[in-house]
Amino acid sequence: NWSSVILDGNKLSFPEDDPPTNSLKLVIKLMDSLTNENYADKNRIYLSGLSNGGMGSFELLKHRPKMFASAVIICGGGNPAWAKEFAKTTPVWVAHGSDDNVVFPELSINMVKAIIKHGGSPKFTLYENVNHESWFNVFDDPNYLKWMFSFTKN
């Protein structure tokens, strides 16, 4: 588990100020090393994650708010307080299934509200009558990669 999510029964929570998990520290170290290579275009680094990877993606945005040109986060969640770190710096598309009973849609909705509250303008898609596998809807969307790659850091 590379995010700091805490599972208590059916409830997920995300500590606001905990340091990154060891796994997330390794991901950050890897990302930092790759972006420092000559072949890496620092203006075109993109982030996408789903489910637990979506939770880790929100947390990675918290720790590296200026690294990514855009992010697509699918059926994830995070601590809404994290949004203040990346709301104005990273375009985010949040997608979730309305009937998700694994990662409840409220977790994405709360992150979208927080991004807006902190000055961002997220793209948000709630897929009607879709359970946890909402990534199939995103990956089938012809605008998925077009949207993500339309952004660059300047």
For residue 8, what pLDDT band results from cuts at 50, 70 and 90? confident
How does 77-91 read in b/e, with b if 16+ C-beta sit within 10 Å?
bbbbebbbbbbeebb
Per-residue confidence (pLDDT) for residue 7, from 0 to 100: 86
Compute CA distances 151 → 85, 106, 121, whole Å.
18, 27, 14
Does 98 have pLDDT greater than 80?
yes
Kindly report, residue by residue over 103-144, the tens digit of the pLDDT: 999 999 999 999 999 999 999 999 999 999 999 999 999 999
Classify burial at 34, counting beta carbons within 10 Å of its beta carbon; exposed 0-12, middle 13-18, buried 19 or more. exposed
Mean pLDDT, the chain, rounded, equals 95
**Pairing state between β 123-127 and 6-8:** unpaired
Kindly report, residue by residue over 57-77, the tens digit of the pLDDT: 999 999 999 999 999 999 999
